Amino acid sequence: MMSVLRPLDKLPSLNTATILLVGTEDALLQQLADSMLKEDCASELKVHLAKSLPLPSSVNRPRIDLIVFVVNLHSKYSLQNTEESLRHVDASFFLGKVCFLATGAGQESHCSIHRHTVVKLAHTYQSPLLYCDLEVEGFRATMAQRLVRVLQICAGHVPGVSALNLLSLLRSSEGPSLEDL
């Protein structure tokens, strides 16, 4: 049975917003989840963590409002894992309910994946790309705050703004290369 994630295959729960974090860095994901749950939010937040997709179909889980793929720029395996997992997500998810998060960009010497690769990946899947060095507590807390706000919009809890609407706001044009500066 094809366990592809679809955005609308379940009914939403009352005042609940669910986010799914997919990535190979268990410790970082756990810390990010903790930071998100500490945020002050009118809706009830649920955070699911997964190393990769597809998710086991035996578990009863609520409707997922936002998927965040966490790519560690220091590890080629992380990118591979993400690319594998992307195949198990239905195309309609990419209308604003998917987001990429690249960690480790601040330590250039350790990066084995070029930033441009992830930028291209995000561009191919028409989804926004966020940068955050999740190891640093301060940056992690701010990113958690941002993810909560995005999640609220994706779950439909902000009147007048939809996930697709937010997506069109976040999509930026490809700018000139910085090496020319």
Contact between 111 and other proteins per CB under 8 A: no
Q: Which is nearer to other proteins, 59 or 108 (CB)?
A: 108
Listed ranges 22-30, 71-79, 89-97, 103-111: which one lies at the site for other proteins (CB under 8 A)? 103-111
Listed ranges 26-34, 41-49, 67-75, 153-161: which one lies at the site for other proteins (CB under 8 A)? 153-161
Structure tokens given for 115 = 């930033």
DSSP 12-32: PPTTEEEEEEE-S-HHHHHHH
Q: Which is nearer to other proteins, 43 or 85 (CB)?
A: 43
Q: Which is nearer to other proteins, 60 or 173 (CB)?
A: 173
Count the residues of the shown chain that bind other proteins, applying the rule CB under 8 A.
34
* Positions in the binding site for other proteins (CB under 8 A): 105-108, 128, 130-133, 135-136, 138-139, 142-143, 145-146, 149-150, 153, 158-161, 166, 169-170, 172-176, 178, 181
